[in-house]
């Protein structure tokens, strides 16, 4: 099976940078995704890393190290609207998109 670990809660100040880490254990690893979910809403796709390294999309970046079974999501220039839950999800063979428990990010003024 798969297991993913990410912090349950993170608090950061508006305008700052925050990093949300994710470690995983799985067989047949293909890649790591990140999703955002606002309260009462549906998860929305942010990024996908299949190869080692950093992928940047605007204020959000995602990093993967396959050898360390580790990835992170980096959010820069935090805004109040970034307050949400962030999920990492592994894509592994016949069972794609198994999600972690999520990290609740609170952005404070």
Partner 1 sequence: DAGVIQSPRHEVTEMGQEVTLRCKPISGHNSLFWYRQTMMRGLELLIYFNNNVPIDDSGMPEDRFSAKMPNASFSTLKIQPSEPRDSAVYFCASSLREGEAFFGQGTRLTVV
Give contact residues for partner 1 (rule: CB under 8 A).
30-33, 41-45, 48, 50, 87, 89, 91, 94-102
Residue nearer to partner 1 on the CB measure, 64 or 78: 64
Cα–Cα distance between 17 and 58 in angstroms, integer?
Answer: 13
Please report how close the Cβ of residue 64 comes to partner 1 at its closest, in angstroms.
11
Please report how close the Cβ of residue 94 comes to partner 1 at its closest, in angstroms.
5
Closest CA to 55 of 70, 36, 72: 72
Cα–Cα distance between 62 and 60 in angstroms, integer?
Answer: 7
Please report how close the Cβ of residue 13 comes to partner 1 at its closest, in angstroms.
27
Residue nearer to partner 1 on the CB measure, 63 or 102: 102
8 Å CB contact between 88 and 4:
yes
Residue nearer to partner 1 on the CB measure, 36 or 107: 36
Which residue reads 């063979």 in tokens?
93
Please report how close the Cβ of residue 16 comes to partner 1 at its closest, in angstroms.
27
Going through 50-92 in order, the beta strands assigned E by DSSP cover 53-57, 60-65, 70-75, 84-92
């Amino acid at each position: 099976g798969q297991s993913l670990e990410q912090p349950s809660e993170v608090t950061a100040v508006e305008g700052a940078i925050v990093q949300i880490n994710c470690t995983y254990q799985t067989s047949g690893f293909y890649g790591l995704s990140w999703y955002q979910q606002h309260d009462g809403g549906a998860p929305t796709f942010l990024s996908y890393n299949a190869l080692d390294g950093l992928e940047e999309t605007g204020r959000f970046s995602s990093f993967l190290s396959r050898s360390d079974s580790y990835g992170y999501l980096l959010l820069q220039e935090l805004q109040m609207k970034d307050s949400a839950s962030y999920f990492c999800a592994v894509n592994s063979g016949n069972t794609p998109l198994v999600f972690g428990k999520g990290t609740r990010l609170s952005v404070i003024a």
